[in-house]
Amino acid sequence: MSKAQNDVVITGIGIVTCQGVGKDAHLALLTADKAPPTIVETEKFKPYPVHPLPEIDWSQQIPKRGDQRQMENWQRIGVFTAGLALDDAGFKDDLEACGTMDMIVAAGGGERDINVDTLIVNEGLKRNDRELLLNEKLTTELRPTLFLAQLSNLLAGNISIVHKVTGSSRTFMGEEASGISAVETAFHRIKSGESSHALVGGAFSAERLDMILLIESINAHAIGDWHPIWSRKPEDGGGMIMGSLSAFLVLESRAHAEGRGAHIYATIDAVEGDRGRRDEGKFEARLERMLAPAKQGAGETTIVFSGTTAIPDLAQREKAVLDAQLPGAAIRAYSGVSGHGLESQFPLGIAFAALAVANRAKVPPFDAGHEKPMAAGARNAVVTTVGHARGEVIAVLSAEA
């Protein structure tokens, strides 16, 4: 594909998952001879497995103890990872560049009051007028100060304070779709010339009883032992295993990146997110339409990073479309390695894809029973995310040379 000055390129990658801290730990798993080890916590929230946060020295990216203390873990994870991405792109100490940098963050609503949630669930077992019960408890039990400390845009606010990223700021809420919107917005702003450089990403803390309750309340959480993504069955629970993780990317126009001599990992050639009903073949038709840019030149050097939730029905429907539309490509369901990151899921897939194509990685199968080995190193990548309730996206990336 010919290069253009308004190409959207990736110049900085920050990742934290259960597999480790930083891009090097994750590049190692993408270039290994065999699937990475399964790192899963099965006792703490039994019977619900969770992919835990690795050991982190917060002071490497959040030097002030006071800043560390006033953040909840979901904010701390994101601020730390955003710092990794800025460091990687060479922007960390460039106050002028950070002062004009767009910031687009995908974030949830923060951590909840577990005692109030428990009270409502227990009371709900005794009453049928649950709407009235909710209103009673919301007006008598919640502390306004707790809510103010958990606003979703505090992640962006803390990134501004700690890393001095003070250009425009946007925060999207809305589970997987928020991560989709964050990346898609950054892509189109740079592509159209409205922006020259942006920090985009999200963070998610999975080791929380409130998140496990929310996922299990729709019967979507896996139960018991860990199984590879494509091998999860309805009898193992809902399929989803959440992961404490974060991914941030520095995106730039090619002109801006080349003008400062930056290292370019990959070009994002296309991003399209959509949402709609999933019955009567509408889901499959939507994915097939969005996959059109991915089919050009797809072959044995193409890798697909599927952000499937692992909900069995949705996962199998997505894989059937990918197998049919991209028959030569190797598919890798990355949630089996990292856990599912909700708001961070799509940015994490983009980060994995950029590392893979930049290093011509022959990514080992993550589920050997359902994923084929790669015959050649990755030069092109497709990233999918299918929200557990709604929202889908396809992104297409290519290597530089």
- Find the DSSP H helices in 90-153: 95-99, 114-124, 130-140, 144-148
What is the model's pLDDT at position 152? 86
Question: Are 315 and 322 a contacting pair, CB within 8 Å?
Answer: no
Question: Are 284 and 306 a contacting pair, CB within 8 Å?
Answer: no
Q: How far is CA 387 from CA 141, 227, 273, 296, 310, in A?
A: 32, 20, 11, 25, 10
What is the model's pLDDT at position 172? 96
What is the model's pLDDT at position 314? 96
What is the model's pLDDT at position 1? 55
Convert 234-246 to b/e letters by CB count within 10 Å (16 or more is b). eebbbbbbbbbbb
Strand residues in 165-244 grouped as ranges (E): 169-172, 197-204
User: What averages of pLDDT result for each successive group of 10 residues across the chain (401 residues)?
Assistant: 88 98 97 94 96 97 93 94 98 94 92 82 91 89 69 92 96 96 98 97 94 93 95 93 98 97 98 96 97 90 97 96 95 97 98 98 96 96 97 97 75
Calculate the CA 202 to chain-centre distance. Answer: 7
Closest of 371, 361, 303 to residue 336, by C-alpha = 371
Task: Identify the three-state secondary structure at position 14.
Answer: strand
Start-to-end CA distance of the chain, whole Å, equals 10
What is the model's pLDDT at position 19? 98
Strand residues in 256-391 grouped as ranges (E): 266-274, 302-306, 330-333, 380-386
Convert 201-232 to b/e letters by CB count within 10 Å (16 or more is b). bbbbbbbbebbbbbbbeeebbbeeebbbbbeb
What is the model's pLDDT at position 146? 64
- Find the DSSP H helices in 35-113: 65-70, 73-89, 95-99
What is the model's pLDDT at position 22? 98
37/12 Cα distance (integer angstroms)? 26
Question: Are 243 and 51 a contacting pair, CB within 8 Å?
Answer: yes
Cis link prior to 47 (omega < 30° from 0)? Answer: yes
42/211 Cα distance (integer angstroms)? 16
